[in-house]
Structure formats: C-alpha cells, structure tokens
Structure 1
Amino acid sequence: MSTEDTSGSKSSGSPSALVSLLYLFAFLGFVFLVAAAGGAVTATSVGDWYQTLIKPPLTPAPWVFPVVWNFLYFLMAISAWLIWRTTGSFDRSGLPLAIFGAQLSLNLAWSILFFGLRNPLLAAVEIVFLDLAVLGTVAVFARYSRLAALLLLPYLAWALFATYLNMGIVVLNR
C-alpha cells in the first residue's frame, strides 16, 4: 500500500488522483490565461487594422481563428499536464515544462508584435522562433510521453500555417 507524502504524491512517484485533477485544472487555467492575454491584444487590432491588410490565399474565415486557437490551447494544456503527470513532479519535468513555457511566451509575444504593435515584419521574424520552440517542445515531450508530443502536432501544423499567413501579409502589404 502506498503512502502519500506532503506534496500529495504517492511514494511511487506518481501523483494521487485528486492532486492530478487539480493540476489538470491548473494547467488549463494557466494556458487559457495566456490565451486570454493574447486574445486581448489581438482584439485591439483585429476589427480595424487587420481588416485593411491584403491577406494571402488560404486565409481562413475570421470565425475559424478563435475556434482553432481554443482547441489548440486545450491540447497544449493537456499535453503539458501529461508531462507533469508522467514525471510525477515539477523537479523531474522542469526541462520539458520550461521549453513549453518558452514556446507559450513566444506565442503571446507574437500577438503583441503582430496585433499590438501592428508590426507584421517583426512578428514574421519572431514566428520562426515560435515554430522552432514548438518543434523543440514536441521533441522533448516525446522523450517523456508519446501522447503529449502527439497532442502538440496540430499546434505545430497551425503554427507553420500561421507562419505562411504572416509571411504572406508581409509580402503583400509592402
């Protein structure tokens, strides 16, 4: 029979069901807090300035973006939680979660650069780093949990598509 230590983890190293559920909600809350911050910045320009830009072919209808992004943020949170749950602690999941945090920060930074500062060129440079960070997150997560890595593949695909859209806007709006 396993006993629980003060951290709420079983002595085997895996978190208890209650602690695991609480951390799931914490990961969801954190990721969606970052999403809300990005959404708030995006809202400052999406209804006016963004509408004046010439957009590349394959640009989705405006309603697609919030639907896709909310789904992707959900997958990101579940993926990060799986890493924490697989390792059983933040000590053992520090590197992958730090890389995850870096890509999430770059995700927010892109919204600030593109929509907040209305600077598609600077955002285009930054999004390349975002793409690399997401790819790095997938690679590192795969060492801990194949499922966690797989859950990030739609995000990687969308980030690469967003790179195409961003680069297209830069080229078409010179």
Structure 2
Amino acid sequence: MTAYIPKITTIPYDVFASPAASILLPIALGTAVGYGTRPNNTAANQTKETYSAMKQPPLRPPPYVFGPAWTALYGLMGYAAHRAVMHASPSFSSSLPVSATTLQTLYSAQLGLNLTWMPLFFGLRRPALAMANIVSLVGLNGYLTYLYFGVDDVAGWCMVPYLAWLGFATYLNAGVGHLNHWDISESTLATRKALGKDQ
C-alpha cells in the first residue's frame, strides 16, 4: 500500500514544469481550503470570530494579515518548487544528489500537511492535532529547503520566508493551545465569551 500512496499524493510533473501552474496551484488550494473551512450556515467572518474569541499569545497579528501573507507564501513556495524540480530534472542536470521525483513527492506531502492545518485548527477545533501537523510541516519544509539549496539557490531562498512564517505559526498554535488548555471548542469559546475572556 505504501508504494501506492506517492502515486495518489504526488503532484504531476506538468504542474511543476509550468511556473504559472506551480505558483497558482497552492494559492488556489489554500484559498479553497480557507473558504471551505468556514461553516456554511454562519456568517462569512466565523473564522475571525473564532480567532478573536480565543486567548492569544503576545505578538499575534490581526486576522486580516493572514490572507495576504499566505497568498504571498503560497506563491513563493510554488515558484520554489518549479525551480527546484526543473533544476533536478534529468534534462537539466544528472549530477544532483536528489531527483525531481523525490522533490515532487516531498513538496506534495508538505502541501498536503499545510492544507490540513486549517481544517484541524478551525474546522475540528483540535489545536493539539494542528500542533502535531505544524511541527511535522516545519520539519519537512526544513528538509525540503535544505534539498532546494542543493539544487538551486533561488529555490532555497524562496522557502526561507515560508519557514520563518511556519516557525511563527507554530509559536501561535502552541500559545493558543496552552492558553486555552488545548480546548477551543465552540461551547468552551461561547462560555468564555459569556463570562469574559479572562475566565
């Protein structure tokens, strides 16, 4: 079964071969997950309300920062993947320590982890699972960035802002989890809102 999983999860080479497709795919998927995470029967600002109802660690940005930040980061990660896969392909160089297929698979896995964080945190309201997800995501992207630098410096540097943001997001996830006793369920947040945030 494990031999079958990469065939399901690996983004096709043709996507990486096109700079536009490689950039637009994570932006489109991230946008779709963001909109899909919101419950259909609530107002459009449900995620923002959930976010503001939680006890937050210091330095948390306002909710409106996340959309533009993630759009830019998704674009950078897509461009980095395009450059790395193209530079690692046999037609470009045969002396690199990593194959294009390996980079495609690792990138696809990290994108999958990235896209599942929001449903875990805001959809299921499971900050501990989201924390496990983001720690895995940081580790995988640290390794992927290392591999990218071995293939193409521009691809590696494009991943640095993403890694920095993931580090900050890990801090926020851990802070929210700790301050809210790892419980951000709707009932808990409603009770907190009714009693006041310090309860």
The code of the aligned residue for 1:100 comes to Y
Quote the residue 2:106 is aligned against: 99
Tell me which of 127, 151, 173 is aligned to 2:158. 151
- Report matched runs for 1:15-94 at 5 Å: 23-44=18-39, 45-88=46-89, 92-94=99-101
For structure 2, the 5+ residue unaligned runs are 1-13, 40-45, 92-98, 182-199
For residues 93 and 23 of structure 1, the distance between their equivalents in structure 2, rounded to whole angstroms, comes to 14
The code of the aligned residue for 2:161 comes to P
For residues 58 and 153 of structure 1, the distance between their equivalents in structure 2, rounded to whole angstroms, comes to 20
> Is the CA contact (8 Å cut-off) linking 1:20 and 1:85 kept in structure 2?
no
TM-score between the two structures when normalised by the length of structure 1: 0.81
> Is the CA contact (8 Å cut-off) linking 1:53 and 1:173 kept in structure 2?
yes
> Is the CA contact (8 Å cut-off) linking 1:41 and 1:115 kept in structure 2?
no
The Cα of 1:85 is off from its aligned counterpart by: 2.4
The Cα RMSD (Å) is: 2.4
- Report whether the alignment pairs 1:116 with 2:117: no
The Cα of 1:22 is off from its aligned counterpart by: 6.9
SS of residue in 2 equivalent to 1:83: helix
Structure 2 vs 1, CA of residues 39 and 162 (structure 1 numbering), >3 Å: closer, same or farther?
Answer: same
For residues 75 and 145 of structure 1, the distance between their equivalents in structure 2, rounded to whole angstroms, comes to 14
> Is the CA contact (8 Å cut-off) linking 1:99 and 1:136 kept in structure 2?
no
TM-score between the two structures when normalised by the length of structure 2: 0.71
Q: Percent identity?
A: 34
The Cα of 1:20 is off from its aligned counterpart by: 10
> Is the CA contact (8 Å cut-off) linking 2:16 and 2:22 kept in structure 1?
no
Structure 2 vs 1, CA of residues 89 and 61 (structure 1 numbering), >3 Å: closer, same or farther?
Answer: farther
For residues 23 and 33 of structure 1, the distance between their equivalents in structure 2, rounded to whole angstroms, comes to 15
The Cα of 1:170 is off from its aligned counterpart by: 0.5
The Cα of 1:162 is off from its aligned counterpart by: 0.2
For residues 21 and 165 of structure 1, the distance between their equivalents in structure 2, rounded to whole angstroms, comes to 31
For residues 159 and 28 of structure 1, the distance between their equivalents in structure 2, rounded to whole angstroms, comes to 19
Aligned length: 156
> Is the CA contact (8 Å cut-off) linking 2:73 and 2:161 kept in structure 1?
yes
> Is the CA contact (8 Å cut-off) linking 1:123 and 1:166 kept in structure 2?
yes
> Is the CA contact (8 Å cut-off) linking 2:26 and 2:74 kept in structure 1?
yes
> Is the CA contact (8 Å cut-off) linking 2:24 and 2:75 kept in structure 1?
no
